């Protein structure tokens, strides 16, 4: 009888122990926050490396409570799909949010408008962060939450063959980001925009569907555009910025300590991004020259042609933002006043 009782007691103890351990395991699994991070840039690019850094750092600083999975190179869809997935809960963080994002929050288009004449990347970042609370406020109304800036570079003009004058661009068929802002920027050069996703652009250039496009060096070299477009003219009309973005619903759902980690890591990523950008800019330019790409530097462009382009750019900037409605235009006007005031402080220093 005693042996039977001892056996029952032992079995009961084992069952209780298994139950307790299972509960611990379940609690540990439940407490892990899965973070899916997607962007359309090549993994071997400044933004691709920055997003990888964010993923690794989130896991490190959270002691594994955050586990990340990254989806570079549009494998989880393009920017449009990524932004939609943020709102539906199918994605936690999107890198490089810009052109499509402005269709939801047109006020934030201020970050990529032409002709701010920034003195440096650092000045642009500082002034944008001085306006950060306002950017977050208008974004939150549409269900989004900006976490950081993706630092990019000046956009120029890519053409199949070297050009001697900006006037040669008139009538060329240019691939454009399928968003109203970049379609209109393309028209500033006199080119005919052909809107299409970045993933389709390489074949469009290779088959002659498009003659060129308005874009940066880094991401375009990353997808091999320099193999078919053999001239880059550094017009510097737009210094590109985009966002590391999440949804307000997701960021608000996090425990306070994990939310702080996510925000701190993403903010710290801006300096990491700048470092990667400097490295890749040098490497990409060397690669372009080695593969026969002609680079026409800013100071080599005809001054009168640049002046004409700049004048068209100022007119476009005002008209584009005015067309978004009175509230958006007021946001833009207040932003311009703020930029000029901040740049004046830098001049005094």
Q: Which domains does the chain have, with CATH numbers?
A: 32-348 (3.40.190.170)
Running DSSP on this structure, what letter comes out for residue 228? T
Is the pTM value of this prediction over 0.85?
no
pLDDT 10s per residue in the chain (349 long)? 555 445 555 455 444 444 444 443 433 445 899 999 999 888 988 999 999 999 999 999 999 999 999 999 999 998 999 999 999 999 999 999 988 899 999 999 999 898 888 888 889 989 999 999 999 999 999 999 999 998 888 999 999 999 999 999 999 999 998 889 999 999 999 999 999 988 899 999 999 999 999 999 988 998 899 999 999 999 998 888 899 999 999 999 999 999 999 999 999 999 999 999 999 999 999 999 999 999 999 999 999 999 999 999 999 999 999 999 999 999 999 999 999 999 998 876 6
CB hemisphere CA count around 100 (13 angstroms): 23
Judge whether 214 and 176 are in contact, CB under 8 Å: yes
Judge whether 205 and 225 are in contact, CB under 8 Å: yes
- Which of 91, 84, 142, 135 has its CA nearest to residue 112? 135
């Amino acid at each position: 009888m005693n042996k039977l009782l001892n056996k029952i007691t032992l079995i009961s103890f084992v069952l209780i122990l298994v139950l307790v351990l299972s509960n611990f395991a379940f609690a540990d699994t439940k407490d892990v926050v899965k973070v899916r991070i997607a962007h359309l840039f090549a993994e071997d690019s400044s933004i691709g490396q920055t997003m990888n850094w964010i993923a690794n750092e989130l896991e490190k600083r959270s002691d594994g409570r955050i586990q990340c999975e990254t989806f570079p190179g549009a494998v989880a869809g393009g920017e449009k799909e990524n932004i939609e997935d943020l709102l539906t809960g199918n994605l936690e963080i999107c890198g490089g949010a810009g052109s499509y994002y402005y269709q939801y929050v047109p006020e934030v288009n201020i970050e990529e408008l032409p002709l701010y004449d920034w003195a440096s990347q650092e000045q642009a970042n500082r002034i944008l962060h001085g306006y950060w609370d306002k950017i977050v406020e208008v974004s939150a109304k549409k269900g989004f939450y900006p976490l950081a800036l993706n630092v990019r570079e000046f956009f120029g003009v890519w053409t199949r063959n070297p050009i001697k004058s900006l006037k040669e661009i008139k009538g060329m068929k240019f691939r454009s980001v399928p968003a109203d802002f970049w379609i209109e920027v393309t028209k500033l050069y006199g080119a005919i925009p052909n809107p299409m996703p970045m993933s389709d652009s390489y074949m469009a250039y290779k088959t002659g569907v498009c003659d060129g496009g308005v874009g940066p060096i880094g991401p375009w070299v990353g997808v091999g555009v320099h193999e078919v477009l053999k001239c880059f003219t550094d017009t510097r009309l737009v210094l590109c910025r985009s966002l590391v973005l999440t949804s307000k619903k997701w960021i608000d759902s996090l425990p306070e300590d994990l939310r702080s980690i996510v925000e701190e890591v993403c903010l710290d990523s801006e300096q990491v991004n700048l470092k990667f950008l400097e490295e890749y800019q040098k490497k990409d330019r060397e690669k372009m020259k080695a593969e026969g790409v002609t680079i026409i530097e800013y100071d080599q462009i005809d001054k009168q042609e640049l002046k004409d382009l700049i004048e068209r750019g100022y007119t476009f900037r005002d008209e584009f933002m005015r067309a978004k409605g009175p509230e958006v235009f007021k946001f833009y006007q207040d932003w311009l006043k703020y930029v000029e005031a901040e740049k004046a402080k830098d001049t005094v220093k």
